[in-house]
């Protein structure tokens, strides 16, 4: 089990806000970072496949929820769907989002198991076991982080506008 997508998206959005505070020209890559922050969870498509055609692809698809698998998917998405002008940086932001995703997943607590961070080189499971996924604690922290980033962004916009 994972943190919910809202937590992932809010943290991704917050990080993107902070990056834009530093460099305004990165504004357009916000979407790439946010999409990247939920990209490893595409493996949950297994539920749809299981529901529609009754084939359980849990373990084969789990490879996409490993850093290497998700990075390859990010590069593939970048090559296929990003315009040439923004491809390089867009892909980097997708991968940045993927990194954020795994950082958040790493904080979770499961009764057994963790995340295959080094797969396929190692099958060691890693987890910091801080938050139970179904509790709201993680979401409140994400909301606070996002809220602070939004306030700072608004302030910066106001200051910039007043100079113009």
Partner 1 sequence: MGFLVILIYFSGSILTNNETQIGELTSNPKKYDKTEVLVAGYVIGSPVYENDTAKIVIESSRGSKIVLIINSSLLNIYPNQDDIIFAKGIYYDSEPTSYINIDLVHVRTKWGQRFILLRSILAIPIIVFFLRKSRDLVRI
Q: At what angle do helices 30-38 and 5-22 cross, to 10 degrees?
A: 150
Q: Select the residue interacting with partner 1 from 19, 36, 64, 96 (CB under 8 A).
A: 64
To 5 degrees, how large is the angle CA 18–CA 22–CA 27?
Answer: 70
- Which of 17-25, 59-67, 99-107, 152-160 is the region at the interface with partner 1 (rule: CB under 8 A)? 59-67
Question: SS3 of 94, please?
Answer: helix
Decide: is 139 part of the binding site for partner 1 (CB under 8 A).
yes
Decide: is 39 part of the binding site for partner 1 (CB under 8 A).
no
Number of residues that bind partner 1 (CB under 8 A): 49
Question: SS3 of 115, please?
Answer: strand
Q: Select the residue interacting with partner 1 from 45, 128, 129, 135 (CB under 8 A).
A: 135
Q: How far apart are CA 116 and CA 46, in angstroms?
A: 18
Q: How far apart are CA 48 and CA 95, in angstroms?
A: 25
Chain contacts with partner 1 (rule: CB under 8 A): 1, 4-9, 13, 28-32, 34-35, 38, 58-64, 66, 68-69, 72-73, 75-76, 79, 81-83, 86, 90, 111-113, 116, 119-120, 123, 132-136, 139
């Amino acid at each position: 089990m994972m943190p919910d997508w809202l937590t992932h998206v809010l943290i991704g959005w917050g990080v993107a806000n902070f990056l834009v505070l530093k460099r305004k020209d990165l504004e357009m890559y916000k979407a790439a970072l946010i999409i990247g922050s939920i990209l490893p969870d595409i493996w949950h498509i297994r539920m749809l496949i299981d529901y529609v055609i009754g084939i359980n692809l849990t373990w084969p698809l789990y490879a996409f929820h490993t850093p290497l698998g998700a990075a390859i998917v990010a590069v593939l998405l970048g090559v296929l769907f990003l315009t040439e002008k923004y491809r390089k940086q867009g892909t980097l932001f997708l991968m940045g989002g993927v990194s954020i995703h795994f950082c958040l997943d790493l904080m979770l607590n499961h009764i057994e198991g963790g995340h295959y961070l080094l797969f396929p080189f190692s099958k060691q499971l890693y987890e910091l076991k801080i938050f139970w996924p179904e509790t709201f604690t993680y979401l409140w922290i994400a909301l606070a982080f996002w809220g602070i980033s939004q306030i700072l962004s608004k302030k910066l916009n106001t200051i910039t506008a007043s100079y113009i």
